[in-house]
Amino acid sequence: MSRICAITGKRPVTGGKIIHKGVSKKAGGIGLQLVKNNKRKFRPNLQRIRIKLPSGQVKRMWVAVKAIKAGKILKA
């Protein structure tokens, strides 16, 4: 399964999880230091749902939850 939304075209994007160590200045430390930047993927929240197409046909598709909440599709 390719993790791509059939409606919006959302797909996984790469990014990083930044890791800090130390105590913040507000809490009495010398501040937070950057330790590591781990590579990771941000994946869209896809759900397989039945959709009613404009032609009246019912089809199962992978759709992002953001598109479902926005009302961009008509559930069958």
Chain centre to alpha carbon of residue 24: 30
Cβ atoms of residues 59 and 51 within 8 Å: yes
Tens-digit pLDDT profile for the chain (76 aa)? 689 999 999 999 999 999 999 999 999 999 999 999 999 999 999 999 999 999 999 999 999 999 999 999 999 8
Measured distance CA(42)–CA(3) in Å, rounded: 11
Q: How many residues does the chain have?
A: 76
Place of tokens 């950057």: 34
What are the residue boundaries of the structural domains of the chain, listed by start?
Answer: 13-69
Q: Which pair of tokens denotes residue 67?
A: 């598109």
Nearest CA among 21, 8, 20 for reference residue 47: 8
Class of domain 13-69: mainly beta
